[in-house]
Amino acid sequence: MGTHLGMPSVAGRTAASGLLDTHGRQATDMRLSLTDKCNLRCTYCMPAEGLNWLQKDAVLSRAEIVRLVRIGVDLLGIRELRLTGGEPLVRADLLDIIRDIRANHPVLPISMTTNALGLERRAAQLKEAGLSRINVSMDSLHPETFAQLTRRPFLDRVLRGIEAAAAAGLGLIKINAVLMRGINDHEAPDLVEWAVARGFELRFIEQMPLDADHGWTKEGMVTAAEMRALVETRFVLTPDPRTRDGAPAERWEVRSKEAPDVVLGTIGIIASVTEPFCADCRRTRVTAEGRIMSCLFSREETDLRDLLRSDADDDAVAERWRDAMWLKPKAHGMDHTGLGAADFVQPDRSMSAIGG
């Protein structure tokens, strides 16, 4: 049984050792999906017609979510929470959920990944409720391309949402962009220019085979190496000297070609497919209906909702969560035999149904 350098030894696994796995990793970063519903239909994530949404009572309630976070933080060593979905802003009790979590955990970093529709109206309230910062997904600065990628003509609303988040103090704002060949890949330098001018950290994400349409192809995806080359047509990129510290994004400092002494900002590149970071993964995922997924590509799911709805105590819930993470796979499998490995099987759940 292998251990990862710097990580706790598997031999010492006890109720107090948190969410360890057999490869010696410890999950401290909780990704919690608040809903499977969404008001966009990004081509790399959802089919045009949407999905069969979960019934309301299938989704974890506000009280169940708040309890689960408390168990994660108090009993299992969770040190960071990211709210996601589906689209977390469509959840009507979002502000109450954040307020309750913040009341229990005054210093826990709580971030949210959102498409920013409706953020303009709610950014200040989110900050007041206790949200620490925000990641906004926006793949294009052109209304037509945005509409092509998301199947909805709402770029202006997203831009207003981002402005409102900055004004409300929900920074450092990170902007997530998936680059798609022949659609928005040529925008890479424009997106970088736009983000660094505003003090945002742009993160390019390699397209993963997690689309409901199963349309992902090796040829279709833009690789991290290509992303760097696209940005370097206008800028100079150098590795960010800060340690990566388990983060999925590899960070790069951005300088202009004319004044290479001045750092304009940083960007991140999330190369889950071509340069996977599984050995350093610290994530544990909870789906909107309360299932633990130890990995985005996991085919195993462990239900916690039935325990939460029984008279089981917190220790029993923690134990099942620990057991689910113990079996976290060593790697997602796309890299077994190289890019687009023949033995890789796309999971049944698409990104929005897991919680990205």
150 annotated as a binding-site residue: no
In angstroms, the CA 175 to CA 114 distance is: 10
The answer to whether residue 38 forms part of the interface with ligand SAM (CB under 6 A) is: yes
Cα(first)–Cα(last) distance of the chain, in Å?
A: 29
The answer to whether residue 205 forms part of the interface with ligand SF4 (CB under 6 A) is: no
Q: What is the DSSP letter of 200?
A: -
Residue with Cβ nearer ligand SAM (178 or 317): 178
Which is nearest to 176 in space by CA: 138, 131, 218, 231? 138
Residue with Cβ nearer ligand SF4 (114 or 266): 114
Residue with Cβ nearer ligand SAM (81 or 307): 81
In angstroms, the CA 264 to CA 285 distance is: 34
The position carrying tokens 């999925």 is: 248
* Residue from 26, 132, 137, 272 in contact with ligand SF4 (CB under 6 A): 137
The entry of ligand SAM, ligand SF4, none near residue 161 (CB within 5 to 8 angstroms by kind) is: none
How far is the CA of 326 from the CAs of 152, 333, 356, in angstroms? Answer: 41, 18, 21
* In the complex, least distance from residue 176 CB atom to ligand SAM, rounded to whole angstroms: 3
The entry of ligand SAM, ligand SF4, none near residue 211 (CB within 5 to 8 angstroms by kind) is: ligand SAM
* In the complex, least distance from residue 352 CB atom to ligand SAM, rounded to whole angstroms: 5
CA 265 to mean position of chain CA atoms:
21
In angstroms, the CA 213 to CA 257 distance is: 40
Residue with Cβ nearer ligand SF4 (45 or 66): 45
The answer to whether residue 210 forms part of the interface with ligand SAM (CB under 6 A) is: yes
30 annotated as a binding-site residue: no
Positions in 295-334 near ligand SAM (CB under 6 A) = none
In angstroms, the CA 5 to CA 52 distance is: 43
Positions in 145-174 near ligand SAM (CB under 6 A) = none
Per-residue burial over 316-353, b = 16 or more CB atoms within 10 Å of its CB, e = otherwise:
ebbbbbbebbeebbeebbbbeeeebeeebeebebbbbb
* In the complex, least distance from residue 53 CB atom to ligand SF4, rounded to whole angstroms: 12
* Residue from 110, 165, 178, 288 in contact with ligand SAM (CB under 6 A): 178
Sign of CA dihedral 318, 89, 200, 221: positive
Residue type, 136: V
* In the complex, least distance from residue 156 CB atom to ligand SF4, rounded to whole angstroms: 16
The answer to whether residue 281 forms part of the interface with ligand SF4 (CB under 6 A) is: no
2 annotated as a binding-site residue: no
Other beta carbons within 10 angstroms of residue 34's beta carbon come to: 26
In angstroms, the CA 6 to CA 22 distance is: 14
- State the DSSP H helix or E strand holding residue 156, giving kind and residue range, or none if neither: helix 155-168
Residue with Cβ nearer ligand SAM (109 or 215): 215
The answer to whether residue 46 forms part of the interface with ligand SF4 (CB under 6 A) is: yes
The answer to whether residue 87 forms part of the interface with ligand SF4 (CB under 6 A) is: yes
The answer to whether residue 41 forms part of the interface with ligand SF4 (CB under 6 A) is: yes
The entry of ligand SAM, ligand SF4, none near residue 46 (CB within 5 to 8 angstroms by kind) is: ligand SF4
C-alpha angle 355-217-346 in degrees, rounded to nearest 5: 45
Give the residue numbers of the binding site for S-adenosyl-L-methionine. Answer: 44, 86, 137, 208
Contact residues: ligand SF4, CB under 6 A: 38, 40-42, 45-46, 85-87, 115, 137, 351-352
Contact residues: ligand SAM, CB under 6 A: 38, 44-45, 84-85, 87, 113-115, 137, 176, 178, 205, 207-208, 210-211, 351-352, 356
